[in-house]
Amino acid sequence: MNRQAASGAGVGAGYLLVAAVAGLLGGGASVLRQAGLLPDRGLWPLLEQIHAPLMLLFVVIPALVCGFSTLWLPRALGRAGMALPALNYGGLGLVAVSLLMVITTGAQAPAVLLWCVGILLSVMVVLATLFDSRADTEEKRPFSPFVWGEMLASAVLLLAVPVLAAFMTHQLLSGAQTDVLPLLDGFAEPVTLVTLLAGFGLVFETGARGGRFSEKPVIAIMSVTAAASSIVWVRGVFAYGLAATAQQAGSVLHSESTVLFTSTLASVLLAGLWMAGTWRSRLSLRIPVLWGLGFLAVVSTGWVAQLLRGEGLHSALQMGAVYAAFCGLYLWRGENGGYWYPRPLALLQFGLMAAATGLSFLPLSSVGQIWSGGLLGASLLCFVVTMVMSFTQNRQMPDGGAQPEQAAPVSARAVEGTVQS
């Protein structure tokens, strides 16, 4: 059992490593472009061109779904490890190989198709673990919002990824040389849903130790949003195609606006439930809570931009995925794992990221873009140094990493009543 748990932790860490490499490469290219220092030759122009696929395919989904599910679900479900460990290893290997292919050759159809197979294997492992947990234990623990978020995000991917794979397969069999980047742009709606579901699951996880939430409305909102948005997206794709250039005006825009409206409404309701649950509670501003608040702030900015200008929620949710990923990383390493990390550096990283995010939402001159890119790069550097120091020393906190309201583990919260239903 210990060997199975250790292997699962290795797979989860592998997914996080894939996301970190893709984020550093794509983010580094973006920072250099904003600073006006991007070289004209070599690998960097290609990385800047495929920045969006790197963030959508290799940062958001491997980190928020595959990585965090593999690391946390066994503990949350009272299991020794994930089901079907061989498939989990296979999914990680295929995703890593596809990342290497994308970096070296660009976002081509074979690399994206390989990514689709790897992600499908991973989400099948997540869903199999969840369903198997209801049969192999006598005590049926209620799922927390985090578990529901991971399950629904995996279900969305299980429905949406085969659609992307079908378009990639058709392109390969037809011998067409069409650019796949517009096709990946059409895949942004499912990634938006994944960010929303997994991100709010993590946000509720950070506040569950100090706040009191009613989990049934949270689960209902997540479920309805996942089901309705997925059906609308798949219907629009099969009717009018995946590429933005092939979409017909009116009906496709209506489909996209429906998904955005549903996501916006769900975000408002979930944020309201979270704030209501933490308003009168003793919720200290721990590092994961700060990143969770940053996620809410960025998504709220997307709401305002969407209402005023008719656009902005997509980019806000993509930036929010970064905040959710850092929230989960610090929650996993510190409070759930009980390991030390330098909190002053973590606070500095959050401050630099918040400043860079604030500048990115403003119309900037070239000098402002340089400042924004520099702050983003400094924030990523702080994170790297923080994690290097934490893993190098690899020492646990004397109290297990838990502060007064942090002591309850994930699997015991539903029993202890921190999350109220």
Question: Mean pLDDT, to the nearest integer, of 144-163?
Answer: 93
pLDDT, greater one: 203 or 337: 203
pLDDT beyond 90 at 36: no
pTM of the model: 0.86
N- to C-terminal Cα separation, the chain: 32
Check residue 177 and give its pLDDT.
62
pLDDT, tens digit, 9 for 90 and up, residues 103-133: 888 878 899 999 999 999 999 999 999 998 8
pLDDT exceeds cutoff 50 at 70 = yes
> Regarding predicted confidence, which is higher, 198 or 236?
198
User: H helices of 215-312, where?
Assistant: 215-240, 251-278, 287-309
Where are the domains positioned within the chain?
A: 1-141
Q: What pLDDT was estimated at residue 399? A: 55
Nearest of 160, 164, 226, 178 to residue 198 by alpha carbon: 226
Q: Length of the chain in residues, anyone? A: 421
Helix (H, G, I), strand (E, B), or coil: what is residue 396? strand
Q: Which two tokens stand for residue 44?
A: 């960097």
Angle subtended by helix axes 2-34 and 85-105, to nearest 10: 20
Confidence of residue 260 (pLDDT cuts 50, 70, 90): confident
For residue 338, which phi and psi values (nearest 5 degrees)? 80, 20
Query: Mind listing the pLDDT tens digit for each residue in 360-418?
Result: 777 656 666 677 777 888 898 899 899 999 989 888 876 545 443 333 444 344 333 33
Sorting pLDDT into bands at 50, 70 and 90, what band is 47?
confident
- The set of residues, in sequence order, having a beta carbon less than 8 Å from that of 171 and lying 6+ positions away, is 109, 178, 180, 183
SS3 144: coil
